[in-house]
Amino acid sequence: MSNWREQFEGESGFGAFTALLGQYYHYVVVAFLLVFAFWNRARNWGRYVVDGTILFRGNDPWYHYRSTQYTVNNFPETMPFEVWTQFPIGTAPAQFGTFYDQLMATIALVVGLGNPSDELVRQVVLISPALFGALVIVPAYFIGRRLGGRFAGVMAAAIIALAPDGLLTRSVAGFSDHHVAEALFMSLAVLAVMVALSVAQKEKPVYELLLDREFDALRGPLGYSILAGVAIAMYLWTWPPGVLLLGILGVFFLIHLSAEVVRGKSPEHTAMVGVVSLSVAGLLQLPSLATLDISATSRSLLQPGLAFAVAFGCVFMSWLFRQWEARDLSNIGYPGAIAGIIVVGAGLMALVLPDLFSYFVDQVLRVVGFQTSPTAGTVGEAQPLDDPSTLYSYYRLAIFAAVAGVGIIVARQLASADAPAENLLVAIWFVFMIAATFTQARFSYYLAVPVAGLTAVAVGEVMRFIPRVENISTVEPYQVMTVISVILIVLAPMFLGAGASVGVQAMDTSDRAQSPGAGIVGWSDGLDWMSNNTPEVGQYGNPDGDTMDYYGTYGRTDDYDYPEGSYGVMSWWDYGHWITVEGERIPVANPFQQNAREAAKFLTAQNESRSEQVLNNIDEDDAQTRYVMVDWKMAETETQARGKYFAPLRFNPNTTRSDFYTRVASTENLQQQGLLQGTDIIRQKQPYYNSTAVRLYRYHGSSMEPQPWVLDWQGAERALGNGDTFVSPPADGQPIKRFQSMQQAEAYVENDSTAQIGGFGPYPQERVPAMENYRLVHMSENSGLQGRLSQVFTRDANTGGFLGSLGISANASQQELQQAAIDGLYPNTPAWLKTFERVPGATIEGSGAAPNSSLRLQVELDPANGETFNYTQQVTADEDGSFTATVPYASTGYDAVGVDDGYTNTSVRATGPYQIASSPTFENGNITQYTGTANVSESAVVGADDSPVQVTLDEQSQEIDLGDGNDTDGTDSNTTDGNTTDDNTTDGSTDDSGTTGDTNSTSGGSAQQSLTADTAPTTIRAD
């Protein structure tokens, strides 16, 4: 205070104010930027409150909420083992329940006065990303200030506050993942190492001071190095794969210590920073070890081991320098000796420990090696950043200033023997983050701070030519113009954005990022239904069984022994955390990608026997997979519609996308649309329709017959550079053709080798049989799928794709587009999510059928949210007219068993009994058919009653007066007594799978509807 008084003594009024502002303006501006950054990231938090419930964005934030709530309940402990995911063995949370979650739990406990409600914990988790994101400004400012001065530090802070980059999108309220905490704590760690390096370069500590215990002389270097070690440890506590930082520090010390020797200086001063800080970081990792294996994704021996290895490397380089100096060797040869030792050491590791060597090589390539594995490519954030212009869209001219900053630092390192080590550290940090970002786009949120810091270097270089201003009254016009120019060049483009008409681009990006996403909204009611209408875990078929404590503490194990009555839920791994948190059930696969291959095999299984085999390999005697949840994305091949059918194919060995689908597109369209970015027609092959995910979502487990739709193309299938394939559209430009009957469609295909029945939308090329052990038990409310489809296919009408083939004009209304897309592609009620139960099924035993005749069993079902549909199954009678069928749907007795009995309260119920009918036969003027009905109880379907349902068919016959050979009474020859007799119904009525059919061909005789004289297909061009 006395210094301040002395500094401004004699000043008064405006002069004192301007002097004060000139001295402390940077703190005022940084404080304003902190407030703005937090407000911008948190301002739309209300969007995450849907129907009174907080819904987080993405997948991982849900598990962070769970691990935070566990820590609140067991503070300060984190979850040692998780039994509510990766059924049936459980898992260690690894990257969750870390320092980030402990901090959120601490905030919740403080705000909640030691007893926060679940709602308060959700609110803290919701807002925390905005808080942590704003706090990144603090290390960015100090890094920028150290590199370029106060004004440069303010510019660095402004870049963090204003840039519409990856850090912003991952630090908005609701995106409650560890990404933003990673960026914050890595920046703090780098800042702490920078400070320690500068102190070491200034005070020049040596090893002898430590031997002589002259700790007063070592207080500064040791103290700041210890603090740096703590900061590094905090980062590793936040994210175990943060060993990347240890690699960056290792490369930095390797380069800098070698450069110091070449300059004729001792490397010991900065080596001491590496030894102390990394030893402290390694020691602090030991108490939190979760495994003694080597793993980058969990708290293993890798984190302390690599820290100690880098510390040892610093010791070794210092020792080697002393040996080098004692022998009076040329300093120029020192880096070569170090490089040779590294090469020899790597070679020995490759020979002696090849698996460990391969592991390290794979990890380096995975993070900074510009390589992406096929399975990692299914994860949005793990995909490479293919377009360098993305960085320009984030930072505008600041990215060029950052590159200039690297050049300035390198030039200083080459020109000066006293160049600051901390500057080189930031330059190396930037290079690694650029490589990591182009390898996996997720690392773009790391890039913000090094970009800001290096921009500060360039800004500081400009500001060197302006004398420091202590009082505003002494400012010269050129100084003002220089400052304004720097601000406009660096920040103005980020403010406005390219082509932006109004608003700040960072605010616009924040606004677009802030919503929970349609996925969790679409799943929400299905998960709520599951938590309330399925038995508690531990009570499936076992109502007196012990339930599992949702927030219980379970000891570590490699394979948890689940109690009898426990069960798992199969879905694609993306949705595992939603099932755990919102459904309070145990997913088989999860976003840790555990059991991802098993999920892929199940969803793409080509028959029910194979899907059952996959689950049987997972299940245990007392715990089995009982439910399957499939959303529309899992059955959708169209990438423009955000379908993800492709994802399981990448996890399936020996399968490619071309085995299941290809595109019908012109080469010109593919070039214009960027390969798979368009809305060209997808030619779906029969393996697609045979896969379990499609049979469940599209047909609800029912059989499906081909329809008189034809997909036409020309030429051979050709490969695209991304692993996909395409064929060219036919000469008439209309790939989709609709016929009046199956006979017409089959005749067309017979005469055209590049055409097939079906192959798009829900229409298979061949018959898809019914499933016997899976039934739909809940259909979610229609949560925005119509709108998504209308957006996708608006352009499709312009390009002559699917809607264009149906004659939908490019000027069609949104309602027309929605209805056309839904009717054409999703005729079975396009619910976002459908939940199925795996059941033993009921056995129907029948008699009285004609020997060896084909029989159809059909029941109409009415879901709570959607239109009625039919489950249809075909069986063949034995030589004595008897038959047996296993069916998954009940038709009666729903109230006899429910959740209290250890079973499901299904919301999909039959409108009547099963209708059983044989194919009609025509002989001597009579049509004969065997029919009957059967009521199947809910108890029989779920296995509570294993008694078979008995049914005897009745013979029905009707005489037909054919006259001149045609049906003269106007009655459809395919119906008897009002009952449908064919496997496919006529002209717009509902067929056996609940979809629209148009064919009247019969299976059992010669009676057919007369074909129209005009056998040409119906093809309507888009105008």
Tokens of 186: 């890595």
Is it the case that residue 123 has pLDDT exceeding 70?
A: yes
Q: Is the dihedral of CA 820, 821, 826, 831 positive or negative?
A: negative
Is it the case that residue 314 has pLDDT exceeding 70?
A: yes
Of 405-419, 488-502, 530-544, 842-856, which gets the smallest average pLDDT?
488-502
Estimate the crossing angle of helix 60-73 against helix 99-111, to 10 degrees. Answer: 60
**In whole angstroms, what is the distance from residue 45 CA to residue 58 CA?**
15
Give Cβ neighbours of residue 571 (< 8 Å, ≥ 6 apart): 579, 587, 588, 589, 599, 628, 629, 630, 634
**In whole angstroms, what is the distance from residue 127 CA to residue 134 CA?**
11
**In whole angstroms, what is the distance from residue 415 CA to residue 627 CA?**
68
Output the pLDDT for position 622: 85
Of 405-409, 888-892, 920-924, which gets the smallest average pLDDT?
920-924
**Higher model confidence: residue 693 or residue 364?**
693
Output the pLDDT for position 800: 46
Is it the case that residue 736 has pLDDT exceeding 60?
A: yes
Residue whose C-alpha is closest to residue 679's, from 574, 572, 808, 834: 808
SS3 category, 1003: coil
Output the pLDDT for position 118: 92
**In whole angstroms, what is the distance from residue 101 CA to residue 679 CA?**
42
Give Cβ neighbours of residue 446 (< 8 Å, ≥ 6 apart): 167, 182, 183, 186, 433, 436, 437
The confidence band for 364, taking pLDDT boundaries of 50, 70 and 90, is confident
| Residue that has been written with the tokens 């809910």 in this structure | 938
The most confident of the ranges 267-281, 495-509, 728-742 is: 267-281
Is it the case that residue 357 has pLDDT exceeding 80?
A: yes
SS3 category, 380: helix
Of 488-502, 616-630, 821-835, which gets the smallest average pLDDT?
488-502
Q: Across residues 201-211, what is the average pLDDT?
A: 81
The confidence band for 387, taking pLDDT boundaries of 50, 70 and 90, is confident
Residue whose C-alpha is closest to residue 450's, from 398, 396, 489, 493: 398
61-95 tens-digit pLDDT: 999 999 999 999 999 999 999 999 999 999 988 78
Is it the case that residue 908 has pLDDT exceeding 70?
A: yes
**Nearest 10 degrees: Cα torsion 802, 803, 804, 809:** -170
**In whole angstroms, what is the distance from residue 130 CA to residue 104 CA?**
12
Determine whether 357 is exposed, middle or buried from the number of CB atoms within 10 Å of its CB (0-12, 13-18, 19+). Answer: middle
Mean pLDDT of the chain: 82
**In whole angstroms, what is the distance from residue 65 CA to residue 49 CA?**
15
> Other C-beta atoms within 10 Å of 859: how many?
25
